[in-house]
């Protein structure tokens, strides 16, 4: 799943300018608890990835909770693009470091022990397929605002 590195405009304006991924280590991040406090960013169009160790201000177990903190100006975080699409289009969140892209996030499914996996998998695929097609093939939106580092 594609992710976007985002923050609220008020938070961005209160920080030192970003010129490279390493500068993120100086900013307060908000982290999803299941992930390591580091990011791997690659230049758009190819090139070697850069790993950045983050300084989480808060750690939450919910992407929606993180989104709420970001909207309130509590830091920056990588979130699924589908989750922040509307915020980016309205300008309530800004995409950071537009010349860089994050690693895609894996989506995993876990079944309980003893479940009839073949039947569950078929039901899940039938349920998700039309919904994911609508989610990822939505009407084009105008390009989101980007934070380039100049305040």
Residue extents of the structural domains in the chain: 3-105+142-147
How far is 106 from 128, CA to CA, in rounded Å? 16
How far is 145 from 123, CA to CA, in rounded Å? 39
Regions in the chain scoring below 50 on pLDDT? 139-143, 148, 150-151
pLDDT of residue 137: 66
Q: Which residue has the tokens 């983050």?
A: 54
CA distances from 125 to 107, 108, 113, 120, 147 (A): 14, 13, 19, 9, 38
pLDDT, tens digit, for every residue of 67-89? 999 999 999 999 999 999 999 99
pLDDT of residue 115: 64
- Which CATH architecture fits 3-105+142-147? 3-Layer(aba) Sandwich (3.40)
pTM summary value: 0.76
């Amino acid at each position: 799943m594609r992710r976007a590195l985002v923050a609220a405009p008020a938070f961005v304006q209160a920080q030192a300018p970003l010129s490279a991924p390493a500068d993120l280590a100086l900013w307060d991040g908000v982290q999803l608890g299941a992930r390591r406090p580091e990011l791997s960013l690659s230049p758009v169009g190819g090139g070697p990835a850069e790993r950045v160790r983050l300084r989480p201000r808060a750690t939450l177990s919910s992407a929606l909770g993180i989104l709420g903190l970001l909207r309130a100006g509590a830091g920056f975080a990588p979130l699924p693009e589908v989750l922040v699409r509307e915020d980016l289009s309205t300008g309530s969140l800004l995409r950071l470091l537009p010349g860089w892209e994050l690693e895609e996030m894996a989506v995993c499914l876990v079944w309980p022990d003893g479940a009839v996996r073949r039947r569950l998998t078929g039901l899940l695929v039938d349920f998700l397929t039309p919904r994911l097609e609508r989610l990822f093939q939505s009407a084009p939106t105008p390009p989101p605002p980007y934070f380039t580092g100049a305040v």
